[in-house]
Chains A and B, each alone.
Chain A
């Protein structure tokens, strides 16, 4: 686990929106998408869809899921599980916390299997 990264004030990401954090900042293999569900909760997943090259930070977020903006694959925000075709592989999740009105990201630095 790497040191926590301060991402943005909470109000910078509206409900149902996402923010892509570049891998040059996170130090991870992929960029990380910080995603805010429509109930206000924050989640973080690898940004690139496991099906094709697409940014999940651009996706449609609601009801505990993010839908890829290109081909409509859906992932569970909590577990990263692939929920429907065309995605078949789950996506890596990362820890995210809200501290004093700021969003903090704790990237999972484990090597890619």
Chain B
């Protein structure tokens, strides 16, 4: 990782033109991508959700079209791209993408699918390369996505131009405090606008250190049975489950294993509710609390108060959970960031990074890394509880009667207000308010034709 902070470059907000693909006489027939009216499946005023949104294959296909394709989606951390040719492969919805730094030092992202027969042109998780070569027939693309080699080029007709067959580029790339996001939607609002007041809450994790954040260790990936929204929703809105689901972990972590103190069980706090579907919850307490002692001792809380303000240090810096709509979540004090990659209505892949302050000395980084893995790594004592719940909910959702019984999202209805201390609208720590906002945004996108749909 580069040690000179001046050597790091934020990607310029990029709005390249969407790649024009030659279609010839091809056209998709009406009915291939039917629009289902899901308006009746989510009632955020009454706090009711129909379980079909977690199980139906047609609704899932529509989510890929109308929720994932138009939204800003998290791709990677800038720290993963030190020099030209460094790449990382990930997904936007179910679309495979390559994120890379090209020879002009620009961060770009491309659809990881050969324009010839469609295989991936990069099969590695991450690394350094000079070209992306399809292993099927050998079409090769450079770091800017340009088609640079076609075996048996002479066999193609005279009007074949390699310039028309480059990799499909993700037109919108932007970053916020080191987090790179991308969108296929050339009409999307700028990333900063799409994040809105959520950035104030995100800064409790990303802006503690003037030097920014770094990725430590590898990226953990695991598969869970469960619809992606179960995880995204919980990280937006759910402190409620903590005392029940994580009782054994709380018991274990409490001093002398006598169980947590009453004031920890009966915490007060706030929950940020964002009309763009984001959400964040956190206890409110005068004392900040990094649980790993080495980390707790290292932080200068006075300096943090000066930098981020009392409200943040006594709020999202005590602990907490958050989701950036649709499928990026983080835990500000643990240092865990993750994407819930959708893999069909019944399955998700969790991809989790450990992201820590750049200025931390190695022994503090190590203490924080171990603490994060112990709690929210793939076998973490809290993570295991959460995965079990999501898979439990999913495993029975296909029952005919089960599927028709609405779920309750009524906690804290009407509690959203501007409390004068935390930006935007907030609710109580224990509330479904951000969950209702998450599903309201989901419904809004699902019932609105996306930019790529031909208007009737």
Q: How far is the CA of A43 from the CA of B151 in the complex (A)?
A: 27
Q: How far is the CB of B100 from chain A (nearest CB, A)?
A: 15
- Residue numbers in B under 8 Å from A52 (CB-CB): 138, 149, 151
Q: How far is the CB of A47 from chain B (nearest CB, A)?
A: 14
B141 nearest in chain A by CB position:
A70
Highest count of chain B CB atoms <10 Å: which of A51, A54, A72, A86: A54
Q: How far is the CA of A58 from the CA of B143 in the complex (A)?
A: 13
At the interface, yes or no: B384 with Cβ under 8 Å from chain A? no
At the interface, yes or no: B130 with Cβ under 8 Å from chain A? yes
Q: Kindly count the residue-residue contacts between A and B in the assembled complex, taking CB atoms under 8 Å apart.
A: 24
Residues B130 and A53 in contact, CB atoms below 8 Å apart: no
A69 nearest in chain B by CB position:
B130
- Residue numbers in B under 8 Å from A70 (CB-CB): 131, 133, 138, 140, 148-149
- Residue numbers in A under 8 Å from B149 (CB-CB): 52-54, 70-71
Interface residues on B, range: under 10
One of A53, A69, A86 near B131 (C-beta < 8 A): A69
Residues A71 and B133 in contact, CB atoms below 8 Å apart: yes
- Residue numbers in B under 8 Å from A54 (CB-CB): 140, 149
Q: How far is the CA of A71 from the CA of B152 in the complex (A)?
A: 13
- Residue numbers in B under 8 Å from A51 (CB-CB): 151
Q: How far is the CB of B135 from chain A (nearest CB, A)?
A: 9
Q: How far is the CA of A69 from the CA of B132 in the complex (A)?
A: 9
Q: How far is the CA of A72 from the CA of B132 in the complex (A)?
A: 11
Q: How far is the CB of B417 from chain A (nearest CB, A)?
A: 59
What 0/1 readout, one digit per residue, does chain B (231-245) give for beta carbons within 8 Å of chain A? Answer: 000000000000000
Q: Taking beta carbons and an 8 Å cutoff, which residues of B are in contact with A? A: 130-131, 133, 138, 140, 148-149, 151
What are 10 contact pairs spanning A and B, CB under 8 A? A51-B151, A52-B138, A58-B130, A69-B131, A70-B133, A70-B138, A71-B133, A71-B138, A72-B133, A86-B138
